[in-house]
Amino acid sequence: MDIQSTSRRGLYPQIDPYETGKLDVGDGHSLYWELCGNPDGKPAVFLHGGPGGGSSPDHRRQFNPDKYKILVFDQRGCGKSTPYASLEANTTEHLVADIERLRTEVAKVDRWMVFGGSWGSTLSLAYAQAHPERATELVLRGIFLFDQHEVDWLYKEGGASAIYPEYWDEFVSLIPEGERGDLVEAYRRRLTGDDRDEQLRAAKAWSKWEGVTVTLLPNAHVIEEFTSPDKAIAIARIENHYMASGGWLAEGELLRGAEKLRGIPGVIIQGRHDSCTPPKAAWALKKAWPEVDLQIIPDGGHLFNEPGILDGLVRATDKFAGL
């Protein structure tokens, strides 16, 4: 697929869900879900980033609505799912099980395309490796395998801090010097503490740092969105919770499990200048899963709606719909 051969693709027109609801998945959690597009179309599930980022109306617009039956949902603790920002019974294993319940109880399909970016790519791989017989294709963006060097890239000196030193200084300034050896743990204490004001300050700082790294060029709107109180708390608490636990994945687990993906068609859209999830992980996955179509976008960063990234994603969903 030559992404430079014609003009770049954008989002499909806005659509409303044809059905929405809540699914009780146990452990006190209720997941918001929506079905969009064509009820008789090719089934697809969209897995949002974060963890804790929640879904948005634009996510469903990466699929041709005449061709796809699209299930979009908010993972545990974020978006319209409840309880808000909850860390209880919130692990990768829980989320993989949730996807299966959504498949059987809401979408009511036997198999489906799995689409995810950033943390959504991690979750897509974890789900497809646990249930390879359920994945017709994988469309992935901004690969994050949850290996320690990827966490260190974001939260230790010498990674993304070397690209955004002024924002890094702002990020660490909230933490006393004596605690800066383990910023994930230092932030965890503040994000899970009883001081609500301190929790919000920490959440905004954590989310702002991520918001800085996800765009190729500075974007005030993204920073504003990431640091809004109604979003920052869920992003920061849940994301930090996963980072502190290594995503409940063993080092190298998703690469070793790539053998289970053999025979599943896949496309990876990866920004060359992605400062949140650099191309190293995508390249490692390509070597472990040679059949996947890895497209490194020369002028791409991290977010799905950057022009080159979006073009690749929409072309991928069109391809698998036979367009």
User: Which positions are annotated as active-site residues?
Assistant: 118, 274, 302
CA distance 308 to 312: 6
- CA dist list (Å): 34 to 49, 60, 86, 285: 17, 10, 21, 31
> CB under 8 Å to 220, separation ≥6 — which residues?
none
Burial of 294-316, coded b for 16+ CB within 10 Å and e otherwise, reads bbbbeebbbbbbbebbbbbbbbb
End-to-end CA gap in the chain: 13
> In 10 A of CB 113, how many CB atoms?
25
Picking from 138, 132, 144, the residue whose alpha carbon sits closest to that of residue 260 is 132
DSSP string, 34-95: EEEE-TTSEEEEEE-STTTT---TTGGGGS-TTTEEEEEEPPTTSTT-BSTT--TT-SHHHH
CA distance 320 to 205: 39
- Cite the DSSP H helix spans in the chain: 92-102, 119-130, 148-155, 165-172, 183-191, 196-213, 220-227, 229-244, 253-256, 279-288, 307-320
Write out the two tokens for 215. Answer: 């765009």
